[in-house]
Amino acid sequence: MRQPWLLGLMLACGILLGANPFRPSDQNPDLTARGYLKFKEILSYVDRDYVDSVNAEELSDYAISRMLERLDPHSVFIPAKQQQQASSFLQSDYDGIGVEFNLFRDTVTVVAPLSEGPAEQAGLQPGDRILAVNGQRVSGVHLTTEQMFGKLRGPRGTSVTLQITRRGLARPLSVQVTRNRISNASVDVAYMVDNQTGYIKVSRFASGTYDEFKSALGDLRRQGLTRLVLDLRGNPGGYLDRATKMADEFIGGTKKIVYTDGKGDQYDTQTFSRVAGEFEEGSLVVLVDEGSASAAEVLAGALQDHDRAVLVGRRTFGKGLVQQPIALNDGSELRLTIARYYTPSGRSIQKSYRGGLGEYEKDLQNRLRHGELFHADSIHFADSLKYRTAHGRTVYGGGGIMPDLFVPRDTSAYSAYYTRLQSQNLVREFALTYYQEHKDELEALRFEQFRETFKIGDAQLQQLAARAAQNGVPADAAGLRRSTPLLRTQLKALIARSAYGKSAYFQVLNQDDAEMQQALKAVQEPNNPVMLGLLEK
């Protein structure tokens, strides 16, 4: 009885293998084939006999996604219609008009046209409100940001006609913009804090990140940089090789940067430093937080393990699984975990996912509830996860990278009133309106003058509160008072963004940022015990 059944199964597998790219596992060929046949059979029954009409492809996509959830939190299936959008995150350019916009009360408003981009060349200005795109209304129709991207982006050389309203003009304008290639920078900003200290913020590791970083670092070196603050806060990762090449700029000699361990040895790799880097000596501080993940953690972990940098901030996210993108025949993509990352000392970056996807996604909420974002002593590591850096310092694995200097998240200025203002985009809208009303005065100031002398006064905060009340956010004197320091900084930074560009925005924010101030203290103070220990060794 058993032999004919096995023979039939093998015959069926042979027919399947000849007809499509399905390949059973070498380890469990029978189980793999049976699972494949079972799924195919059930889907056929549902499609043919179920009481209502069904979309078999959508059901299949859903089943695949749920199956992958049983493996780990980062193996994912991306349907064909979402694949392009998912991949755009790692692209360093795109075709479009080059404009930063926001949605204020369901109206698309230009925050800033990108420098020398098509929108700027066509005359778009901060504060312009877009009413229609190619004759199709976009104001008051509840578009999402992604839908608006879809209307503004398109093949280079094609044109798009925008109907806009502008402050001071009685009638709408019609503006034709010819799309072109737009840089999608991943190095958000690079500037000199003082005559020796540079600051570089990297938002993700995209295809052009390393080249952008090299260019920014070289420019700062020419301005006199001898010490550096590298900001990886909120960086979700991206291409690993861009992160390891960046690490190579800081780590001298031939030293391990990262290694991966997968099933068998097919996906086992080791990456070493090998080039003469741009900044292998000099004080280096890296800012990290709970939003720093994957490739950002690989970079931070390598620098910490080799005692090359002081890490400042909070424990990183804890994503240490390697995904391989696999293009499928219908244009969809499978991103399958094929290995784990390990830092040079042997630490696994990946946090536990034994509780399932639901619990995994609550990890940051649990950190908040347990006080980990506010008190370093609330974070506990098992002794079994203890490792040593190159010079003998104790570090821990098993769930992100713990910084050398912990900086608690500052929530003292947050209030329910502030949250309501932000949720309705009223802070950004007020800043943009202020810029429009004071454009001539602001343009008469150099940014350095603006940074040192410009203040958001009580009068502006009262105007913000009055405008918020008109838009359904009731006045809250106590909430406004509590959030006053935060609102002053944010409004000033947003006004600077419209008047002077993205770099000005970050420079203003960093003036009052607790983590940035701690980083500057660590990198600038020669007697700082952590930095001194690293430099001596």
The residues assigned a catalytic role are 294, 305, 319
> In whole angstroms, what is the distance from residue 72 CA to residue 357 CA?
7
Contact 475, 465 (CB under 8 A): yes
> In whole angstroms, what is the distance from residue 54 CA to residue 47 CA?
6
Structure tokens at 447: 């940014």
> In whole angstroms, what is the distance from residue 362 CA to residue 349 CA?
18
Contact 435, 127 (CB under 8 A): yes
Picking from 403, 510, 501, the residue whose alpha carbon sits closest to that of residue 126 is 501
Buried/exposed code over 324-343 (b: 16+ C-beta within 10 A; e: otherwise): eeeeeeeebbbbbbbbbbbb
How many C-beta atoms lie closer than 10 Å to residue 148's C-beta? 16
> In whole angstroms, what is the distance from residue 285 CA to residue 531 CA?
9
Amino acid at 200: I
Maximal CA-CA distance, the chain: 92
Picking from 277, 193, 195, the residue whose alpha carbon sits closest to that of residue 231 is 193
Contact 456, 484 (CB under 8 A): no
Question: Going by DSSP bridges, is the β-strand pair 136-137/76-78 parallel, antiparallel, or unpaired?
Answer: unpaired
Question: Going by DSSP bridges, is the β-strand pair 269-272/256-262 parallel, antiparallel, or unpaired?
Answer: antiparallel
DSSP string, 283-352: EEEEEE-TT--THHHHHHHHHHHTT--EEEES------EEEEEEE-TTS-EEEEEEEEEE-TT--B-PPP
> In whole angstroms, what is the distance from residue 376 CA to residue 283 CA?
24
Structure tokens at 228: 């550096």
